Structure 1
Amino acid sequence: MFDHAADAMKQPDVIRLSEDIYVLRFEMMKLYSALTAVKTLLDRGEITPDTTLMDSSSGTYGYSLAMACHKYGLRCRIVCSTKVDADIRRQLEMLGATVDQIEIPPGPLVDKMDLGVRLKRIAHLLETEENVYWMQQYHNPVHYLGYRDCAEMLQKEFGGAPFTLVGGVGSGASTGGLTTYLRELNDDVELVGVQPFESVTFGSDPVEDPVASISGIGSPVPMKNVAYELYDRVHWIGYHSAIAATGDLFRRHGLYAGMSTGCNHLAARWEAARNPGRPCVFIAADTGHRYAQTVYAHPRVNDPIDALVPNTVDDLGQLAFPWSVMDWGRRTFEPKNPES
């Protein structure tokens, strides 16, 4: 029995899709990090019951933080992306969160400007508001802690056997946290990160996606929670390929999920084919309901994916649209800061 809906919602399911491919399917993955982060900060005395917790979000982290604040009786303020629709905003407000949704004039630069504008709004609020704590999902390592339980569950599920984990990089906390704790239990866990083009994380920012950049798994600014030395390989996937892979996942397996999951599905199929017999687990971070009018209504959602093949590259200078993959080799990296 659970004490709060958030505790039930965070629980994932492992679903076998084919001989070597599995999906770690969440209703809301970032509840793992938000719930543990908030409890840890309370236990440490870094926040009090009177503190307002604040962060920037394009959707899932904001919802998760609002749920965590609801559970622990804390005030919450979310600086929202332009992509947060009226339905999600209404839910955040009903949970008690104050919502600041940024405004950017429509145009080709809206995706690139989104996070930068959100961060400027946060900086203003920190200067003008009292007793506000910025959660910093992108930089604060407290967001790793919640994934220990999930790693232990995966370890039991596969009986300690070697496997490959595929996930969107984003802030780095989910794939980084899972892999950190998994490798404490099993030294043969490969980590494959998935990125969009135009992200400074892993250096694809010079390569433009002519359609749009996929939100949530990349970034226009460096994020300290990305531990580059954990990743064995990286896939960069374009917008239309992601749309097609998301639709394929639902048609083929009945898994209704978002576009980051579609990217992970595409990468996992390639990873499993190159290493038969080794289980490959990809992350489905949330359900597909908030993408019903965008991804699932897109004319490319029915495009076939069986013929899609990545460009295998050895150097970041060789990255090419619409899909590239490179052995990363657990090396470090220093992304460019566009503001420097």
Structure 2
Amino acid sequence: MRDFPPLTSLRAFEAAARHLSFKRAADELAVTPTAISHQIRQLEEWVGISLFERRVRRVVLTSAGQSLYPAMREGFDALARGVESLKRAPERNTVTLSATVAFTARWLLPRVASFRAACPGLDLRLHASDEPVDLHAGAADLAIRYGRGGYPGLRSELLLKDAFAPVCSPRLGVLEPADLSRHPLLRFEWRRVDDDTPTWPRWFARAGRPYRKAGGELVFSDESHALQAAIAGHGIALASLVLVAEELASGALVRPFGPVLDGFAYHVVHAEGGRDAERIASVRRWLLAEAKAFIATPSPKGPRRKRPMPKSSSVSERLR
């Protein structure tokens, strides 16, 4: 803690010493000469020495006042320069975008390089959380919600539709559904499970096969961890094709067979109006452009089969 006298008295002294006049100092600071005299007297009492000689119609600095004045002048000049530099500095406009942990890590982060070109002058803050944030309270400027849609009180726009299919490392040599029994099934815990949730039991039912876990099962609380386990070759995941698109394109993961289950959808949502409407609109346009480019990218095919599949028009018969 700095041991300072009142700043008002220091300011009064600097102005009076610069003008060598209590009246001119009072005019500059928009107070009365009596107030200036009182503040300087307060400073003199604080330092224990006289700083001015009061003469008829003028004041003169004492030797102590002459010693103090350069430090006060330099200090107030430095303060003025600091404040002025802040006024001249361009304001950094920051927009906070909230999304789930997995979507932030696997879809947003690989695309932030394009953000600077699309939104010059804006800074992007990514808020990763599986708990929905309160956009009306200002926890974020906009968010990407995953679900069926319908977000009351918020403007919502479809970003991406999701789908789920078995994926695994090509090192596992998985070529047909019968190979599922040779490896662990990987899954993560959904926050809510209903008839539309893309789960392994639902996938087996769609494939017309009994739900079996002969190779065991690995369960993760976080979706990203389940996907990393699949990339590492620890088993077969029923994965979001949106979130593993990069690994499918690079060959780190393969999608050996179907069927494909419909997932939910990603929506860009934000509160209506507000002074940040244009900044939010810029980020929303960037997201929609990235989603359009993502949709236009051809989906990679699965591995070439070594054994021919029996001919049939039925999906379930092909998978038996």
Interval containing the TM-score (normalised by the shorter chain): under 0.3
TM-score normalised over the length of structure 2: 0.25
TM-score normalised over the length of structure 1: 0.24
Give the structure with higher Rg (CA): 2
